[in-house]
Amino acid sequence: MKSLSFAFALLLTACAHVLPPTAAKTPAMKQTITNKIMDLDRAADTQCRQRKIVKSEILRFYALAGISSERWTLDRCGQRVDHLVTLKPDYYGSTTVVVQPER
């Protein structure tokens, strides 16, 4: 029974390393997403001057199509604000990024 528990724990650990917290593969793509979120949030609250991304999580990932639906959480002056991010590869090898505030 202990070996089965160990194998299950090992499998969970391995899965945690397979799926990153975002499907954005490059620092440039992560920066693009961050910039879009910051631009949207600055328009929503012009008073706050302290913003940072504190979390990202994959909600859905379609491996064959390479499409990812994610939630990125922003700390806006101590308040957490969620944004939905969709990453979709396009015909030309780029990735289309759509960001919207989560309702």
Question: So where are the chain's domains?
Answer: 22-101
| pLDDT at residue number 7 | 41
Question: CA angle, 22 as apex, 18 and 27 as ends, to 5°?
Answer: 110
pLDDT at 18: 41
Classified as helix, coil or strand, 79 is: strand
> Which amino acid is located at 27 in the chain?
P
pLDDT at 2: 52
pLDDT tens digits, one per residue of 13-47: 333 334 457 888 889 999 999 999 999 999 999 99
pLDDT tier for residue 9 given thresholds of 50, 70 and 90:
very low
* Structure confidence by residue, pLDDT tens digits, 52-94: 999 999 999 998 888 999 999 999 999 999 999 999 998 888 8
DSSP per-residue letters across 56-71: EEEEEEETTTTEEEEE
User: What is the H or E stretch that residue 38 is in?
Assistant: helix 27-44
Distance CA 85, CA 64 (A): 19
Among residues 57, 91, 60, 81, the alpha carbon closest in space to that of 71 is found at 57
pLDDT at 52: 95
